[in-house]
Structure 1
Amino acid sequence: MPKPLVQNLFANATPPLEGEHFDTLLQPALSVTIPAHNEARFIGKGIESVFRSAQKAGHPVEVVVALNRCTDQTQSIAESLGARCVVEDKKCISAVRNAAIRASSAPAIATLDADSWMSEDTVAAILRMVGDDRYVGGGAMIKPERMSPGIFFSVLSVVPYVIRHRLSYGMFWFRRDAFEALNGFDEQLVSVEDVDFALRLRSLGRQRGQRYGTLWRDGITTSCRKFDMFGDWYLFRNPGLVRRIFAGQDRAAADHFFYDVKR
């Protein structure tokens, strides 16, 4: 098992006392929150990418993982790498996201899915943007780990639902006061909670005279596991399922594509 990168974030910092964990010495500048349901396959890569990016940025970062109905080694892997875990077993991604964020402690927050990972410059970019009072928060560009004709056309089938809002998603970054003002992610939704959150975050920004921003260059990479599982052409060939998922409250569609998928 790899050693926790959290213990080596600052090469120039005063070394911790023998037996003392690094993250007890410095308050985190950023909390990265991750919802996780049986994510043993991916969680390690995501957490390591966060701490590696934090190390390059030169700022302490905490990772909080919300365990959702986990029966695999997600918790032990996450904790071995320096993350802190909480449990939220509601079958609702909004509730899981909220649990991770409310268990975190930094004034700045970023969300990351368990099968995604940051670039080396992501943390620095987040802290630069979240510290700019012109922005209420924002999203990021997402790069798939692979591409194929089927994935391309499947993504095109989703784009109309997303692009009409002219907002980025994928990974959100914001200050804690904005999260509290919005009362977090809407727990009445079982899907597209990210789209809803982005719209409400932008609306809050307009009320405050702030903009919704996007990390264009230093976004995230995400796995193609859904395509690996269902097939690259699946969403393109099932437009009805796409419509049902984007309705936000279709439990059967959400269970089929998200909650009840074996991992």
Structure 2
Amino acid sequence: MLVSTEQLLKQARQDSYAVGAFNVYTLEGVRAVVSAAEQVHSPAILQVLPSALELVGTALIACCLEAARQAAVPMSVHLDHCRSPTTITGALNAGISSIMADGSQLPFARNMDFTRRMAALAISMQRTVEAELGCLSGTEDGITVADRKARLTDPDQATDFVDHTGVHALAVCIGNVHGRYHSPPELDFDRLAAIADRVSIPLVLHGTSGLPDAMITRAVSMGVAKFNVNTELRDAGIAAGGRYMRLSEKPELVDRMQTEIEAMKHPVIAKLVLFGSAGKAP
């Protein structure tokens, strides 16, 4: 069933679990997320990136929306990490449930202005808005941020940012990174506690792939209500499809699709259980 992202996040925050938001690029990815969520009776979010929309257009949004409507569990569809007002407007017009207005690469005042304008547009259409304060290192959607340019979220700025932009969820930077961790992750939980103490809206953590389970569980207990997952899901599908093509004597496209779906379901189910959302769907 298609529901608002705000509703999913508020319920998660209220009941002390987090919703998994999974980046999808293909019909196989969409089916894997929906099937996994239904299997463990969990809400979930289908998430699309601007680069995928550039390639296939808003048909991907339409596919995700229809899959969410047909799902037996609550789901929404979210535009991840978008810096383009044109793309945000197009996604909203295509019916997407929520957007991430990403001005994190900008200085604080410009980030706040960009986010405020995008939030006003989305809210006028009764959609949910996520934004990011601080800037994660790593690579996402073809954009790489060097460690030296990354910035942790300033708790003192968080209150002003939320109050002036009107966003419904805030993605924070506390040592998490996009992509793979090349050294043991170190999250600044004192910083997370300070942010959670200053803002009342649900918090979001990007860069979940590779974080130890204990860190994720602790983050949930401190107010994180949404985790983004991309690398593990994407890599599982690519690896399974490649193995099928190498090992099959008579490759069939439908068989390859099914192989990829089953492979991607495994990390999705594991994350939903870890986030505490399994069994939370009505």
TM superposition score normalised by structure 1: 0.30
Which one has a larger percent helix, Structure 1 or Structure 2?
2
Which one has more relative contact order, counting CA pairs under 8 Å at least 6 apart? 2
TM-score with structure 2 length normalisation? 0.29
